[in-house]
Structure 1
């Protein structure tokens, strides 16, 4: 459902372009298409010759780049980011892309994801004399690149060696004085795609950004791959061996826009199939099916088609209220519920309602929506969830960092149902979700990260090994 009201937050979205005279303007459109991935900050860095120009600030894309801001960003290459921030990440200094200038050349970096060994790396670098200016994981990579110094290493080699030290989920875009570099973690946990727009190359967290600028999607960035784009074209290298692919399942369930494709799988179609599968797994006698706008609508349509229960707009979203998942505090998120949603009394009054939702995190907003539907006259409210219960924290850039925040942890489905005051509650099975997305649950490597549903993480979470010796960082 409105995960944004409950505190399920994705970290950000990134965009990059090389070889277009209107690089800044196109980046603006690309970031606008990715606005759903973060609304607290936005930035664009362009390359004009050897100069890097930057405009960034807190706020929405159209707020940050109002007036003459775009005109100040000259050059034929750019990277950008839209950002969601937690309490520790507030402040304009943490808005990306970050820009680093030195005698060996300038570098700008933007990240989607989370580096799980960032604290250990930061502490190690500080012991070696590094001074950090931000709370961002992104700055760790810049310091690693700088400290991997050697007269025989190119900047590309230093970047590869630095990336190899990182653990977690990361999709980087980097702009240097002579190239655009793109890196994907060895498990491909966060989406990142490469496209072509005439003679220009583009990269983005989601393919919906390509659609808005008229670019053609070429392929996804591969696990452990470093892509270098410059005036000579595109070149691919590896900074790490590919591990089992583990794309975040919540991209399909909630985060990504319905018109995006990830690994060649359309998000709307996957969510619709999840709704159909859910209808096969549960039999409910009801009069009407409704979905909580927007991410649950596709699943609600699928549930309706498979069950034969009519689909109606039982809940209306106020289009003039920003996505309130942007508010970092739970109190502010909760205040947004009634501003954000309104039940349609004529649709639900006297009816047995199936309310289709994408997921439940804390459950407080689920409870409020169930109450709203009943106050509008619904006879019964049956909540069906188009994903399995969230029982484990995510350490890969999604803002659920402790299991105490999750209503389903250490509770039965019936206990959760009682807490949200629904007449019934059903979750989609993990195998059903994988099949609906288009994965094979029988395979050991199903291609999806299921950590928040199972507690089985595709990477190390807390490093239990010694920090790399300085000689492994500084060559």
Structure 2
């Protein structure tokens, strides 16, 4: 089940700049700061006096542009860039973004973070009417809809097209004279705008990329917004007013970098509160608290402070390895864990270790780390997870694979504890997660403002192409 999910879902990062010298290098720096969001492909499109130029390839940003000639050939004062993570079987250069479209009368470039839930249906309809797709990515659907539209001007064409697609999306579109930004009606994906000292605008998936180019934060892109940036400045418009914020809770739990601010909330601080709430919900006697590097360190420090135990570096990460969640196959993920982490025997030997991790997806990593700590001499290992049980796949832009691969969807807490050989296992409650993020308090929302479907299966919007599969699997 969910075969299409494996080929469509992706977790990516986008970056754009308008009206700045060295736009190519600024975009390179921005993408480097977003490397954690995608490690299989990268690309940049620049705008030099109305001529769009592109370079993209498979690999990390530094690998794609290891030959600096490829970067410096991208001249111009505006650019958009993309880092991509694809699932197994779809890691092809045709899917690496930004996608550049050369038409007889114009050029467009497109970068997308998210997943369209009605892309399969739309693609079939477009192909039946004669459209030919350059890639197998759902990102390309928007450009075909724009070209198909009979509206009189580009903005109206884009609005009509955005009202046709469904799902999660943060789009950057570059034309010869503007940079256009669009966010879905639920704001699933993060997107922020900043400004350089010379007044040039920068847009990025996370604020850590704004910081990397010394851009001052201006505002977050909000659900349903359509923003145009050109030489005249920034114009804020809307492609829809039917919006309801359902921001991806896993951005706070795992995906975003700790130094980023999402909707005004610092990721490190939110994760630290997750650890604090977890300690209040599930305290346990121990000697030390250890976090799984790197995304769990903030939660571990919060847990340690709340329970008044020393927070120790019981695990060391090889900083030159990627993230096992973001490896495309299970075999590669398992090899990655073995190479990237090591237990510090002098710290954990003869200790009752409280091990804090941010989430359990497939369970491979947890089982291996518990064994590693025991092999290093830990007397007890108590596992505490700073998020609720991950039971349901995501359809709005994060690769969570099929439901059968989510261990919590078919194993009880006790069954998982035994599988991991942990002395105890507990998860943060949904209420504890919502409280830790604090989005509803910060924005005075009537609900949490978060997408919590990973934990409870309550999807904030209809799933279109995936609805029947979800019904069968429930």
For 1:122, the equivalent position in structure 2 comes to 123
* C-alpha spacing 1:10/1:94, structure 2 compared with 1 (3 Å): closer
CA distance in 2, matches of 1:411, 1:372: 23
Which residue of 2 is the match for residue 353 of structure 1?
A: 353
So what's the TM-score if we normalise by structure 1? 0.93
Equivalent-residue separation in structure 1 for 2:446 and 2:154 (angstroms): 38
TM-score by length of 2: 0.94
In the alignment, the residues of structure 2 paired with residue 368 and residue 295 of structure 1 have an alpha-carbon distance, to the nearest angstrom, of 17
Matched, 1:157 2:156: yes
Instruction: Please name the residue that 1:208 is paired with.
Output: 208
Which protein, 1 or 2, shows the higher relative CO under an 8 Å CA cutoff with sep ≥ 6? 1
Q: Tell me how many residue pairs correspond in the alignment.
A: 455
Preserved contact between residue 40 and residue 326 of structure 1 (Cα < 8 Å): no
Equivalent residue, structure 2, for 1:172: 171
Q: Distance in 2 between matches of 1:333 and 1:323?
A: 8
Task: Give yes or no for the alignment of 1:190 onto 2:192.
Answer: no
Further displaced range: 33-42 or 434-443: 434-443
Structure 2: distance between partners of 1:378 and 1:206 = 38
1:411, CA displacement in angstroms? 2.6
Q: Report the equivalent of 2:149.
A: 148
SS in 1 for 2:228: strand
Distance of 1:190 and 1:283 partners within structure 2: 33
Match of 2:109 in 1: 108
Post-superposition Cα deviations, 1:114-171, rounded to whole Å, max 9, x if no partner, equal 0111001000101111111201111101100111135xx1112111111111111100
Pair 1:81-2:82 in alignment: yes
Output aligned runs, 1:41-60, within 5 Å: 41-60=41-60
What does residue 256 of structure 1 align with? 256
1:462 maps to 2:457:
no
Q: Which residue of 1 aligns with 2:279?
A: 279
Q: Identify unmatched segments of 5+ residues in structure 1.
A: 1-8, 466-475
Residues 17-72 of structure 1, C-alpha deviations (whole Å, 9 max, x = no match): 00102111100000000000001000000001121000110011111112211110
Paired position in structure 1 for 2:337: 337
1:452 is aligned to 2:451 = no
> What are the residue-to-residue correspondences of 1:16-55 with 2, within 5 Å?
16-55=16-55
> RMSD over aligned Cα, in angstroms?
1.5
CA contact (8 A) 1:388 1:430 kept: yes
Give the conservation status (yes or no) of the 8 Å contact 1:187–1:242: no
CA contact (8 A) 1:170 1:184 kept: yes
Contact 2:322 2:336 in 1 (8 A): no
Q: Provide the secondary structure at the position in 1 that maps to 2:185.
A: coil
**Offset from partner CA, 1:428-464 (integer Å, 9 cap, x none):** 0000111011134996521100010110111111259
Q: For residues 446 and 235 of structure 1, do their structure 2 counterparts lie closer, same or farther at Cα, with a shift above 3 Å needed?
A: same
Residue of structure 2 in register with 1:380 after alignment: 380
SS state of the match for residue 316, structure 2? strand
Tell me the equivalent position of 2:224. 224
